Amino acid sequence: MVEEKKQEPENKRPPKRSIGRKIGSVLGWLFVIGLMGTLFIGGSVLGYVTSIVKDEPVRSRALIEQKMDDNAVTGFAYFGDGSPIGQLRTEEDRRPVKRDEIPQIVIDAVVSIEDNRFYTHKGVDYMGTARAVKQRLLNEPIQTGGSTLTQQLARQAFLSRDKTSDRKVKEILLSFRLERFLSKEQIITAYLNKVPYGNGSNGYNVFGIKAAAKGIFNISDLNKLNIAQAAYLAGLPQLPSAYSAFNGIGEFDEKSFKRAMKRQGLVLDRMLEEGKITPAEHKKAKAFDIKKSLAPRTQKAYVTYPYLMMEVERQASKIIMELNNPKVDGEQTKENGDLMDEARSELSTGGYRIYTTIDRTIYGAMRKIAEDDNNFFPDSETKGKEQTAAMMINNKTGAILGMIEGRDFKTEEMNYATQMVRQPGSAMKPIAAFLPALDSGKVQPGSIVDDSPVILKDGSNGYHIPKNVNWRYKGLMTAREALNNSTNTVALNLFNNVIGIESALEFAKKLGITTLVERDYAAGTGVIGGLTHGTSVEELTNAYSAIGNQGKFTDAYLIDKIVDSNGKIVYKHKTEPVQVFSSQTAYLMTDMMRTVITNGSGSTVRDNYKHFNKIPVVGKTGSSQDYGDSWFLGYSPDITLGVWVGYKHSVNTLDKPQRTHAQSIWAKVMNETINLKPDLFPTKEFKKPEGIVSKTVSAYSGKLPTELTNKFVTDLFNAKFVPTERDDSLAKAKYITYKGANYIPRDGTPEDFLKEQIVIKREKPIDELIKQLEAAFAVMRGGHESLQFYIPEDANKGMPTKVDPRVDDGRAPTPPKNLNYSKGVITFSPSGSSDVVGYRLYRSANGGPFVNQGQVVMADGTKQFTTSGGANVTYYIVAVDVAGKASEPSAIVGNSPVPDPDPTPDPGNETDGVTPDEGTEEIPDTGPQGPTSMPHQPGQPTIQATPDGFRATWSANPSEDGVTLYNVYFSPNNDGIYQIIGTSQTNEFHSSNSSPISGTFRITAVNPVGESSASPTVFFEKN
């Protein structure tokens, strides 16, 4: 069998594919490529979006809902009657509103212009976005935003306002999330609460539809907006700064208003297109005069009431801080400072309503007085503007009714009434001296106190001896008189010795004085203004108000209550009066300060206050050293007003006419307050409590009179402290006077140099005072006046307690020298003996014997005799010592040729000395020898005031006269009784004592042997 082989063709070809299969293959490949490209682009976009949002937190539903409700809310302050003071400090005005308070016309206007598919899209309007892109690409005249209301809300609530692609991506994604968790009603309400609308008529940036309606149209109820106004407001958020009809200070901006009106026309057109209004409504809205309906321009509260708004903010912030941090101790620490800053921020954004105690009428009147330049002295080139501060407080409640914080906020923003601390001067005396002394019974108005020097330790100068303003020490007086005349020494003695510094300052603390520090407890002059810091006007006024409130201290307050944005009262002031001293003490203090005005240092109030017949007032003056501060604190039964006047810096002192200016301002404020608000003064008299009696006591001791008492005082007493002891301060005594003090005479002292009368037993005898003064002088480094300056005027009535300190030296004294006779007056220089008690005058007529005239001059008295004069009369003087020994006669002077001295002593005065025999030589002094001629008389002094005292000059030539020194004498009362106040080796003397000076000066030239001649006198008064 034969096998058949089949061979394959060498090139076998596939069959041809159809056209359809080829197209399908291409499409398949394109699909694969497209899918890969889509995946690539999608991945890229996803990566890009992921990179943008990788740091964005995923916000929960709760957080989103909280953020929608979280609106910064503007806070406001109110006067005591509920009328607004103004908006708390912020550049924004925000007033949240609920959905049911927003009229449909407002929502229709907003949706029509901003997002006409708001109710159908899910957060992003793709068609709207495409339309916006087209309008921009083609530069069409009318362009709309591509962002939905949801996107705008997301941007306002969570994102910055920077226009970047990154922000747009975040905005879109957040919009989806907002739409997922919030209803359309929630979204549109949140949007209308957060969106900006430009400036209101007061210049604030208004946020939210409610603040916009109020700020732009002065409409508080949104339902009162018409279609034209709603459309106007709806058009503003697109470009609020460009469309704002008002600028940052509330001025009308014509150009921006015209732009806003074009925008309003577009809104109305859109509303018509969307069927939200009818053609008739559209036409009517177009014709409405928007400009006429704009709100009138108003000042920001920080322009109208800058001082008050700053004070409200400061005090309210402190309250908020303490509410948030109950354990805060109030000290100035960094932590507390941070907490205070947080409280201020919360106050400005938390929508708090601050209700104050300020009476709008009174505050306005006080500000008017402060801002009237005619009420003040002209500005000084060196000192600046005379400033003032005042505080008015309701005595019973402590409510602050009004204040003057300064004259001009633009000049000085500090509140002088609450933040300034200055020395209170004598205004501190009632608080830290008289009140505690009255309340403890240690002093009553009729008690006898001693105006005599108080010697205080001074670390730098050894000792300090304060002076009174009148440069005098009067001696014994009543406590009432001491307060009336603002006598420093009495207050200092009460403060340092009777009450004690610690007890006195603790008493002041109970009356609200918080500025005291540890150093003040060592300050002996604290009661007259020598404190480390001083006091504020508010605190000092508050302390005085306790006296008007029968001894009950009620802490002064400005903030009555604080209400949060939900209407909840978060703070309410509680009045908690504390009885610091008795009502009897308050009444006695009041009565004493009544006479401060009627009889004492408050005379300017007496002359200017116009309502004494209707409203009784009392008060106390005060001035710091050198008059850097002037005060008047006064009160009626219902209110207390404290006034301070001075300059910004206390080194700038007040001139003499300004020193009573605080009293003038006080009277102006009180007069105006009573005229405007008489209902604030319902109480027409200071109520006298039980236990107040009138009693007559000895004017020497304050005790019950005896048969020796010849001077009396009748005054008020607390019945608990009426004196029961008899006056033991008087006695009849024989004494001798030396250096201003009375001493028990030594045996042998002649009777004609002794005095016998009723004398007064003082708590500190004058001789003891002199001893203390001399001991202080020995170590004082700051200088002091002469001993005689410090001796009280009534020292000659003091009961002697020590024997005359002069001791007999066993020799007859040397005679006086340098006699000069002129017009019946004989002047002389003292004897050189230290044990001299005084001098006798002898007279000879027509050459007859010399006869003792019965006139004596005490050793420390003025070296002068006044005679009857006449023709042919001559005189001489002898010195007498403690043992009764008389000197030889002095040189003879008179109106006739000098006869030989009569060798026959005056009968009955054999011990008075012997007249020298003719031809014998007078025994010379044992002291140093020198010129035999008298020094020339200095010329009349010239006295000039200097910033720190005075300067005296006179004409003289020491080298020709052999003068070793000049003595400067001063008579403070111009009564012929001089005291030496200084010495000089040239013809010039300078005093650095800055106290007021009024009196007569004279200069004496002294040569080496003690001979002297006096200049003419000159009167000088330093203002």
The C-alpha atoms of residue 316 and residue 571 are separated, in whole angstroms, by 10
- Between CA 1011 and CA 1020, with CA 1017 as vertex, the angle to 5 degrees is 135
Conformational region of residue 870, where left means phi above 0, alpha means psi within -120 to 50, and beta covers everything else: left
Residue 903 confidence (pLDDT) above 80: no
- Assess whether pLDDT exceeds 50 at residue 912: no
pLDDT at 403 over 70: yes
Mean pLDDT of the chain: 84
Q: Is 990 exposed, middle or buried (0-12, 13-18, 19+ CB in 10 A)?
A: middle
Measured between alpha carbons, how far is 212 from 202 in angstroms, rounded to an integer?
Answer: 11
For 135-173, how does the pLDDT look when each residue is reduced to its tens digit (9 = 90+)?
666 666 655 556 888 888 788 777 755 455 566 677 788
pLDDT per position as a tens digit, 642-699: 999 999 998 888 888 888 999 999 999 999 999 999 999 999 999 999 999 999 999 9
Spacing of C-alpha 915 from chain mean position: 73
Q: What percent of the chain has pLDDT over 90?
A: 52
For range 899-917, the mean pLDDT: 38
Decide if 214 contacts 200 (C-beta within 8 A): yes
Structure tokens at 947: 């910033």
Residues present in the chain in total: 1023
Confidence of residue 796 (pLDDT cuts 50, 70, 90): confident
For the stretch 230-275, pLDDT in tens is: 999 999 988 888 898 888 778 899 999 999 999 999 999 999 999 9
State residue 677's pLDDT score.
96
Whole-number pLDDT of residue 626: 79
- What is the pLDDT confidence band of residue 66, given thresholds at 50, 70 and 90? low
Nearest to 556 by CA among 354, 666, 396, 317: 396
| Beta-carbon count within 10 A of 392 CB | 28
Q: Which pLDDT band, with edges at 50, 70 and 90, does 335 fall under? A: low
pLDDT band at 312 (very low <50, low <70, confident <90, very high): very high
**Cα–Cα distance, 563 to 323 (Å, whole number):** 13
CA angle in degrees (0–180, nearest 5) for 871-872-878: 115
What average pLDDT does this structure show over 756-767? 89
pLDDT-derived band of residue 86, with 50, 70 and 90 as boundaries? confident
Whether residue 837 contacts residue 881, with contact meaning beta carbons closer than 8 Å, is answered with yes
pLDDT per position as a tens digit, 467-504: 998 889 999 999 999 999 999 999 999 999 999 999 99
pLDDT above 60 for 889: yes
What does the DSSP assignment read for 958-980?
A: HHHHT--EEEEEEETTSSS--EE
- State the Cα–Cα distance between residues 826 and 604, nearest whole angstrom: 46
Asked whether the beta carbons of 563 and 653 are under 8 A apart, the reply is no
pLDDT interval class at 923 (50, 70, 90): very low
Residues 177, 56: Cα–Cα separation, whole Å = 13
Cα–Cα dist 591/50, whole Å: 85
Check pLDDT > 50 for residue 508: yes
Neighbouring-strand partners of residue 76: 87, 353
What tens digit of pLDDT does each residue of 823-859 get?
Answer: 889 999 999 999 999 999 999 988 889 999 999 999 9
Write out pLDDT tens, residues 848-887: 899 999 999 999 889 999 988 778 899 999 999 999 999 9
Secondary structure letter of residue 740 according to DSSP: T
Per-residue pLDDT band for 900 (boundaries 50, 70, 90) equals very low
Of 758-767, 824-833, 883-892, the poorest mean pLDDT is in 758-767
- At 198 the pLDDT is 85
Distance, in Å, from the CA atom of 310 to the CA atom of 182, rounded to the nearest integer, reads: 41
Our CA dihedral for 469, 471, 474, 475, rounded to 10 degrees, sits at 90
**Predicted local distance difference test score (pLDDT) of residue 617:** 97
pLDDT for 422-446, tens place per residue? 999 999 999 999 999 999 999 999 9
Residue 698, both tokens: 């000895």
How much is the pLDDT for 884?
A: 94
* 198 phi-psi bin (left φ>0, alpha ψ -120 to 50, beta other): left
Statement: residue 4 has pLDDT above 70: no
Tens digit of each residue's pLDDT (9 = 90 or more) over 600-643: 889 999 999 999 999 999 999 998 877 889 999 999 999 999 99
pLDDT of residue 609: 96
Dist CA 768 CA 59 (whole Å): 88
pLDDT at 589 over 70: yes
Higher pLDDT, 1021 or 253: 253
Q: Which of 228, 231, 233, 234 is nearest to 286 (CA)?
A: 228
Tell me what pLDDT residue 543 has.
98
